[in-house]
Amino acid sequence: MHTTQQLSQGLFWVGGNDRRIALFENMFPLSNGVSYNSYLLADERIAVLDTVDSSILRTFLENIDAARNGRPVDYLVIHHMEPDHCAGIVELSRRFPHITLVGNAKTFQFIRQFYPGIELPTLLEVKDGDTLSLGRRTLTFITAPMVHWPEVMFSYEESEGILFSADAFGSFGALSGNLFADQVDFDEVYLNEARRYYSNIVGKYGQQVRLALEKVKDKEVSLLCPLHGPVWRKDIGRFIDLYKTWSAYEPEQNGVLLAYGSMYGNTEKAAEIVAARLSDRGITGLRMYDVSKTHVSYLIADIFRFSHLVFAAPTYNNGLYPAMEMLFHDMAALHVQNRKVALIGNGSWAPASAKVMEERLSAMRDMTLIASPVVLKSSVNDEAQKALLALADQIADSLLK
Ligand SMILES: Cc1cc2nc3c(=O)[nH]c(=O)nc-3n(C[C@H](O)[C@H](O)[C@H](O)COP(=O)(O)O)c2cc1C
Ligand SMILES: [Fe+2]
Ligand SMILES: [Fe+2]
């Protein structure tokens, strides 16, 4: 039994979906699972490109059996050694004793670290630009270090323009049977999850992503095969442009994200006042989140998306409300930069949260304060209301100019 699908002449998708998984990397909530894509390229010799996570190993092995049509697998190309793609390495090596594992020096170091003591088959160590002929087709290896692990590489098949891009261009969200992005409403089903995947998993490595994009910029790509989410054969340029925007830390669109933390509802009220005024001023597409409620990965995704960010948080033990602290920690860790920001603090005896947020922002790059922070003393009084409306006006002016 198998779920293999043919993508092109001799190219098969042999991956699978895990819809039971609750947390990717035991951290990121998944509402509709994730796919682990693997590809089998059958030519005079057969290459498998990456394996899968242990959760779907059985499906993967059945799919390989269907696609290889009785022939042995000659090569296993390993683009990335993160365990969500490696559960089949040992099993394929056992089933096909003459298999050659293809990777770079770091790949093989990581195999030995993750699977200590296993007997490895033949290894073919490749460097940037090396090629491997499968007969009619040839794979060229393109190293993409730190996108988002050091051993990451892409492979490019020239005759058809197929780019196997490892985790780059991946997305959260299981596949529905339709493997191609153009077979589904990508914007509705996957775009937010592709952004959340990029920003949280790869976001820190914008510079390395840009270097990798630079390496493939002159290559004709007609089929883009990532390790998670849909495969691309149409409108590939649009997705590559999104990667250029995200990796340059440019906002994808003009718009406002409001993220607040609040115990008793007063800071929340302040954020609501600002949002209402922004709407009054004609700003649409506003997004507001409670940082205690919404997982930080969704906030990070919208922070990568929008140009203007409003953060509102109470003081907590002379510092910043912990859930907001967590968000600021992640923003710094992921190298968030180049945004316009407004801050609202709150405190009953010695408000410090606005100051802490300002300090955190000043340690990031090109995070510009639109105006001085508004600091509440416990709740929104008349004076604070005026200050919040003025703050909202300055945000609106900055957006509309
Ligand atoms: C555990 C705890 C610690 C707090 N620490 C401080 C503090 O160090 N300084 C201060 O001014 N207010 C402190 N506060 C008070 C809140 O910041 C303040 O009441 C604020 O108005 C709450 O806003 P909210 O209604 O949005 O939750 C603390 C409150 C709690 C529950
Ligand atoms: Fe990965
Ligand atoms: Fe992955």
Nearest to 23 by CA among 297, 290, 345, 220: 297
Task: Point out the ligand nearest to the CA of residue 315.
Answer: 1
Ligand nearest to the CA of 323: 1
Average pLDDT, the chain: 98
Cα(339)–Cα(331) distance, rounded to whole angstroms? 11
Mean pLDDT, residues 326-335 taken together: 98
| Cis amide leading into 148 (omega within 30) | yes
Based on the number of CB atoms within 10 Å of its own CB, is 203 exposed (0-12), middle (13-18) or buried (19 or more)? Answer: buried
> H-type helices in 140-205, by residue range?
186-189, 191-197
CATH topology of domain 5-247: Metallo-beta-lactamase; Chain A (3.60.15)
Phi first, then psi: give them for residue 331, nearest 5 degrees: -60, -45
pLDDT digits 0-9 by tens, 236-262: 999 999 999 999 999 999 999 999 999
Cβ–ligand 1 contact at 177 (below 6 Å): no
Quote the CA–CA distance of 317 and 351 in Å, as a whole number: 10
Could you say which DSSP state residue 165 is in? -
Per DSSP bridges, beta strands 122-125 and 131-133 are unpaired
Q: Please choose, from the candidates 37, 133, 30, the residue with its C-alpha nearest in 3D space to the C-alpha of residue 80.
A: 37
Which of 104, 226, 213 shows the shortest CA–CA distance to 165? 226
Confidence of residue 397 (pLDDT cuts 50, 70, 90): very high
Write out pLDDT tens, residues 31-72. 999 999 999 999 999 999 999 999 999 999 999 999 999 999
Distance 400 CA to ligand 2 centre (A): 39
Answer yes or no: is the C-beta of 264 below 6 A from any ligand 1 atom: yes
The answer to whether residue 145 scores a pLDDT higher than 90 is yes
Q: Which two tokens stand for residue 94?
A: 């056992």
Whether 176 contacts 238, CB under 8 Å: no
Q: How many whole angstroms separate alpha carbon 166 and alpha carbon 168?
A: 6
Q: SS3 for 240? A: helix
The residue type of 272 is E
pTM for the complete prediction? 0.96
Render pLDDT for 174-220 as a digit per residue (tens, 0 to 9).
Answer: 999 999 999 999 999 999 999 999 999 999 999 999 999 999 999 99
Q: Which of 260, 348, 380 to mutate to test the pocket of ligand 1 (most atoms within 8 A of CB)?
A: 348
Q: How far is CA 33 from CA 1, 50, 175, in A?
A: 22, 19, 9
pLDDT reported for residue 169:
97
pLDDT at 1: 80
Ligand 1 pocket check for 113: Cβ under 6 Å: no
Assign a CATH topology to domain 253-400: Rossmann fold (3.40.50)
Average pLDDT estimate for 299-324: 98
- Kindly identify the ligand whose nearest atom is closest to the C-alpha of 272: 1
Q: Are 41 and 10 in contact (CB under 8 A)?
A: yes
Residue ranges of domains in the chain? 5-247, 253-400
Which of 291, 317, 376, 388 to probe ligand 1 with, by most ligand atoms within 8 A of CB? 317
pLDDT higher than threshold 90 for residue 385? yes
Q: What tokens were used for 61?
A: 């092995």
93 CB less than 6 Å from ligand 1?
A: no
Q: Give distance in angstroms: CA of 83 to centre of ligand 3.
A: 8
Kindly report the protein residue whose alpha carbon is nearest to atom 2 of ligand 1: 316
Helix axis angle, 382-400 to 266-280, nearest 10°? 40
Residue 268: the pLDDT is: 98
Pocket of ligand 1 contains residue 262 by CB under 6 Å: yes
